[in-house]
Amino acid sequence: MRAPRLHLQGTVLPDGEQHDLWVVDGVIRTEPVTDAVTISRGGFILPGLVDAHCHVGLDSHGAVPDSTSEAQALADRDSGALLLRDAGSPADTRWIDDRPDLPRVIRAGRHLARPKRYIRNYADEVEPDYLVAAVERQVSAGDGWVKLVGDWIDRELGDLAPLWPQDVAAAAIARAHELGARVTAHVFGEQALEELVAAGIDGIEHGTGLTEAAIATMAKRQVALVPTMVQLENFESFAAAGEARFPLYAKHMRSLYAGRLERFGQALDAGVPIYAGTDAGGYQPHGLVGAEMAALTRFCSAEYALGAGSWRARRWLGRPDSLSEGAPADLVVFDHDPRTDIGVLRTPSAIVLRGARVG
């Protein structure tokens, strides 16, 4: 059965102008149509929100059943996140693509890590000599992205340390590029971040170890930063859990947390592109994109944070970034202006996905 035709009137972002929009057969129309049901008047209408770092199909123990993946995807959808970049999952979630009521997902395959140097049951675990072959596997499993674990605690050093020699990382990144994929990496500390940026990586997740040199290169090459602000609030618990055995690690983690806002602000000022990602899945609940975008405003403007979790993020991920004539009808509506009250992002008043109202 055909979805009802819809009508919305309100302020459309990012242009900030008043518009009437109609939704017909899954796309936006800007000319009136008959038999349309008005679902919003006077609201603020955005292209669907983006969680640019999440993990559908994953919890703290590893892969989850499809029913749990469904619940995760629904929580994201109901928060207004209609496009998800899944930054590593051991679960096969391709079935989500056949569900018109669930968000669109861009996958990175499984995390790539070294044995015993990351969370158990998460990653495709390989030694450095086999990283290029593992990248080839994960390119086939993903949607144009590959996810490396860039650093983790080294028990012999008692602190964060890179997982991959820089030349190995560079070869793996180059191979991904040959296959048409981009590469991003989980990175907390300074050394791995600098080495991966120098090796040609396309994205940095978390990024608390940003240095002046790395920022300059990232800005020049437009390497993306997804700081996962909500997740970084767990750094104190990470430090406390490791303090007895690894006091250097605990001190380092606390230092990284203390300097995060200054470093992210420097990256923003330098022109590094920054996007909103919650790190949902694993140890974070899904559905926090509004909280993540609000947290970004601790170092950027509300308007920048909105773009980081909507139109700019969509453009970065190669998806339509506006609500113009003929665009896919994926949108979210708020009763109040999120440019002046970023907190309203937690309570969408209407959500339209693939042309159907789902919230």
The conformation of residue 97, written as its DSSP 8-state character, comes to G
Per-residue pLDDT reduced to its tens digit, 273-307: 999 999 999 889 999 999 999 999 999 999 999 99
The chain-wide mean pLDDT, for the chain, equals: 97
- Domain coordinates in residue numbering, the chain: 6-46+321-357, 49-316
pLDDT of residue 15: 95
Question: Is the pTM value of this prediction over 0.85?
Answer: yes
Per-residue pLDDT reduced to its tens digit, 26-40: 999 999 999 999 999
Q: Which CATH number fits domain 6-46+321-357: 2.30.40.10, 3.90.1150.10, 3.10.180.10, 2.40.160.50?
A: 2.30.40.10
Indicate the fold that domain 49-316 takes in CATH. Answer: TIM Barrel (3.20.20)
Whether 13 shows a pLDDT value over 70: the answer reads yes
pLDDT of residue 1: 60
Of 5, 11, 3, which is closest to residue 323 (Cα–Cα)?
Answer: 11
Half-sphere exposure of 223 (CA within 13 A, CB side): 28
* Res. 2 pLDDT band, cuts 50 70 90: confident
For residues 128 and 305, give the distance between their C-alpha atoms in angstroms, rounded to a whole number. Answer: 37
Per-residue pLDDT reduced to its tens digit, 200-239: 999 999 999 999 999 999 999 999 999 999 999 999 999 9
- Structural contact between residues 335 and 43, judged by C-beta atoms closer than 8 angstroms: yes
Beta strand segments in the chain, E = 6-12, 17-24, 27-29, 37-47, 49-59, 62-63, 81-86, 104-107, 111-113, 124-125, 145-149, 151-154, 159-162, 182-187, 203-206, 224-226, 280-282, 331-334, 350-353, 356-357
Percent of the chain with pLDDT over 90: 99
* Mean of pLDDT values over 42-65: 97
One fold for both 6-46+321-357 and 49-316? no
Whether 65 shows a pLDDT value over 80: the answer reads yes
Whether 152 shows a pLDDT value over 80: the answer reads yes
